[in-house]
Structure 1
Amino acid sequence: MSRGGIPVAGEVATVLNVELDVVVPEALRSPECPELVYGAITEDGIRALDVPMWRTLSADPDKLARIESEAGDLARKEGRRLRGRGPVGRLDRRTAVIVDDCLEHGVLAWAACRSAFARGAVRTVVAAPVGTCAAVAMVADHADNVVCPHVVTELPDPDRYFAWHSDRSIG
């Protein structure tokens, strides 16, 4: 996944000796409370929506449509920036290993899985070094496998977590 997942995915691709591509999910955030992520949209227009969270929103439908349109535009722009002129990779009859640096909002990885399936993947594996219980549970409902060695109840500051964890790494 874009942003923090790219360095992690690069290492995974090197170890597995496989091609590396990027999927760009953009969060759909509540207009009243931007910390609240109610869905995601990928650069290819694939959506994932946390329906219970979405139902709590009081914004009008036009505003939510604008949020989705703007997020889709951002995802496409980021995809072009990261991929250059190269095409979106096909995943025909392959397993897609979707890597992120942190599973904080499961709906982003869920959208990435849906995008991988739309691109021809037959199986998805989502991997991240750390994730919240809620995010890992959500992703587990939509991916064939989730690899997340550090599952925590809450992750208020991912940067602080990684700084703490790197101080205790072996090797």
Structure 2
Amino acid sequence: MFDDRTDAGEQLAAHLERRGLEAELVLGIPRGALPVARPVADALDADLDVVVARKMGAPGNPELAIGAVASDGSVWYNDDLIARLGISEAYLEEVRTNEAENAREKASRYRDGADLPSLEGQRVVVVDDGVATGATARACLRQVRDADATFVALAVPVASPRSVDDLEAEADEVIALETPQSFRAVGQFYRTFGQVSDDEAIAYLQEDS
């Protein structure tokens, strides 16, 4: 159990330091990851930035993730669910295009219009406040991998065991402090788990490391 996202970030940072993990760049997934990612970036003496993805919702059920797409168009599809629901290629393309544009707009807002730094040859740690289905994390990891990072890790305070197994195919290393079998939702492992506003999240990016 974590007190809040900052506490989770400090515990995660200490764990990564003990492991001797090295990285040049830490990428938080907005918005909730930024309070977690800030202590991690500070501990690793790494720059902090964001990687943004949007969930792709099923027809008539936007909360049901049939995939996710990152700001550069990198996409992950839940092929089994798409087949089971009989979702058309036209729908997939429409929702992918729309959500990729939403992700690009969000990334631009967080970076004040600047582009993501070059990841080529970089050691990158992607951080989130927790992983439930892992849909957005998959798309984010694919964007980092497609940008030719030399090493890609995902680090989170808590994750469902099933998602960790799935995400290990997307990263060089997946690090989760807790993988409880009783996992139902990320928030159940935080005493305080309120919404993080865009302004709050951006403030973490602007702190000096």
TM over 0.5: yes
Within a 5 Å distance, the mapping from 1:117-136 to structure 2 comes to 117-136=145-164
- Match in the other structure for 1:76: 104
- For residues 47-80 of structure 1, give each alpha carbon's deviation from its aligned partner in whole angstroms, at most 9, with x where no partner exists: 1122222222233332222211221111011101
| CA distance 1:155–1:68, shift in 2 (3 Å) | farther
- Match in the other structure for 1:92: 120
Taking structure 2 as the reference length, what is the TM-score of the superposition?
0.72
Instruction: Report the AA paired with residue 142 of structure 1.
Output: E
Within a 5 Å distance, the mapping from 1:15-164 to structure 2 comes to 15-153=43-181, 155-163=183-191
Q: By how many angstroms is 1:6 displaced?
A: 1.6
CA distance in 2, matches of 1:73, 1:104: 24
In structure 1, list runs of 5 or more residues that go unmatched.
Answer: 166-171
- For residues 21-51 of structure 1, give each alpha carbon's deviation from its aligned partner in whole angstroms, at most 9, with x where no partner exists: 1110111121233332121110011111222
Is the contact between residue 38 and residue 54 of structure 1 (CA under 8 Å) also seen in structure 2?
yes
Q: By how many angstroms is 1:154 displaced?
A: 5.6
Is the contact between residue 25 and residue 43 of structure 1 (CA under 8 Å) also seen in structure 2?
yes
Q: How many residues align?
A: 165
Secondary structure in structure 2 of the residue aligned to 1:97: strand
- For residues 73-109 of structure 1, give each alpha carbon's deviation from its aligned partner in whole angstroms, at most 9, with x where no partner exists: 1101110111112221111211110000011122322
Point out the more displaced range, 48-57 or 139-148: 48-57
CA distance in 1, matches of 2:184, 2:166: 18
- Match in the other structure for 1:168: none
Taking structure 1 as the reference length, what is the TM-score of the superposition?
0.87
CA distance in 1, matches of 2:182, 2:109: 32
Secondary structure in structure 2 of the residue aligned to 1:109: helix
Q: CA RMSD in A?
A: 1.9
CA distance in 2, matches of 1:28, 1:34: 7
Within a 5 Å distance, the mapping from 1:8-19 to structure 2 comes to 8-19=36-47
